[in-house]
Structure 1
């Protein structure tokens, strides 16, 4: 994959000196998912970039440039204004086949008539993938994933003791979603990873196969005693996501799984007994 670095020395602007707080996600246990400072700052840059404020009214400005000029206190030619002294050699990150994104510089002023502050490096050299939103297990589990249908054979009525009950679900299931996160459009694909059948008698069967109907006996269960039972299918899902603003269009694995559950109608497990007769009515 290949990604072009943002154009050097392209001035981008926006209004307001303070940005709104960035929402913090929470996982299913209530623990906070901490976003990196780099991603938060890039989000601020994106918000300001979208405002389109007239130059004379700007209270904040951003610019992409390699670094402060190491021989002076000024940015490289093409940008006016002082900058903070450089902090020494800047090492470029290894980004695989991607081009690293040039550092982002920022300056502010308190009013349109005030002096600008020095340019300050807001984000250093960064790999483009690090500027895309993280799609977490919590985000994945927040999607409404429809469970695959569960089936049994015999499909209706009682089930006999010591006779195989066949179970199966839909093959080749895939669920697609269109969602957004932090203002980025995102496509998500969920596919079954594992199936767990609970037969209601204390027995479970976990498999990666969806099974198949009769005459297949791939997934079966024999009940050993009469009684009421319910078959429940729990499906574990893995997912991938793709961010609109990723020029590579790369599908990325979601770290974690989602789970769905569906139950069949209850039924009775019965035992048939044979009786000897003399053939007379």
Structure 2
């Protein structure tokens, strides 16, 4: 763990002080790479080759060179208190990015979610980030993500052989969670829908969510409408597929491998048969004729 010095020597004229970090601590200025399979930023192995044109690193917030900190910067450092009783304080860092193809590149600030310094925790963040990447998919799928709201038009009754408009309404959602003591921001975005009509037929996965129709338009065919071919009560449902991104302690926004599927509660749709008959009686002349409101 990076341990801040408890005392500083007298400042030089350039207002720098010794960084004073223990040699056993991590090297936050080490090079990092973006793992193409996990999407995570991890330490670069020796002689490693990857398609990502960029390289990454994390610098101490107030670092001015390898061995010195800016004295004037220190009072305004991001505070990284322990996240739990007995835990260790975090280290304020700034993520950096640079083209990998350039020798001795000029590093620029990575545009993280807060566009500023963030905190790294644990004794070895370079070991911690891959550990988070290894479990992020399962943690994502365990989130209380709200599935799509499902609507059928008309409902709860529809007609045999007629187009029933069915659509889903899902929203992007954000979560702040703690994983391995680190603050992780997760965004979940709906990307696909699988409609199950309850009669053995289904549609999807499809990126089409559909949408509402006015009552005057009911019965029109839409990209997500369905025609029931038998009468009865059927459980209509939709499963929404979400993709996610995550960032650790305000670091780079990374894709979460895989997806999560979240099912909406099913709703009953009753399919009725319509019957049309022709009658010869004139209801004005014979209000009690067959087929008339006052008739048998």
Task: Provide the TM-score with structure 2 as the length reference.
Answer: 0.51
Cα displacement string for residues 113-162 of structure 1 (whole angstroms, at most 9, x for unaligned residues): xxxxxxxxxxxxxxx87652315221111111011211110133x21011
Alpha-carbon distance in structure 2 between the residues aligned to 1:91 and 1:137: 28
What corresponds to 1:153 in structure 2? 153
Pick aligned residue for 1:230 from 231, 235, 238: 235
Q: How far apart, CA to CA, are the structure 1 residues paired with 2:165 and 2:231?
A: 17
Q: Deviations over 1:161-192 (max 9, x none)?
A: 11000011226x20100001111100000011
Query: Which structure is higher in strand share?
Result: 2
1:212 counterpart residue number = 211
**Distance in 2 (alpha carbons) for counterparts of 1:268 and 1:99:** 60
Note closer, same or farther for the CA distance 1:152–1:274 as it changes in structure 2 (3 Å cut). Answer: same
Partner of residue 19, structure 1: none
* Shift, 1:61, TM fit: 7.3
Instruction: Structure 1: give runs of 5+ residues left out of the alignment.
Output: 1-44, 53-59, 66-89, 102-127
1:278 positional shift? 2.9
1:100 positional shift: 8.5
Question: Aligned partners of 2:46, 2:58: CA distance in 1, in Å?
Answer: 11
- Equivalent in 242, 252, 255 of residue 254 of structure 2: 252
The alpha-carbon distance between structure 1 residues 64 and 180, as it changes in their structure 2 partners (threshold 3 A), is closer
Q: Is the alpha carbon distance of 1:265 and 1:64 closer, same or farther for their aligned partners in structure 2, counting shifts above 3 Å?
A: closer
- Checking the alignment, whether the CA contact within 8 Å between 2:237 and 2:267 is kept in structure 1 is no
Which residue of 2 is the match for residue 272 of structure 1?
A: 274
Query: What are the ranges of 5 or more consecutive residues in structure 2 without an aligned counterpart?
Result: 7-21, 28-44, 60-124, 282-288, 291-296
Q: For residue 24 of structure 1, what is the aligned residue in structure 2?
A: none
- Contact 1:162–1:224 (CA<8 Å) still a contact in 2? yes
The answer to whether the 8 Å contact 2:155/2:269 transfers is no
Report if aligned partners of 1:188, 1:241 keep a CA contact under 8 Å in 2: yes
Aligned equivalent of 1:188: 186
Specify whether residues 253 and 263 from structure 1 end up closer, same or farther in structure 2 by C-alpha distance, changes over 3 A only. Answer: same
Aligned length: 173
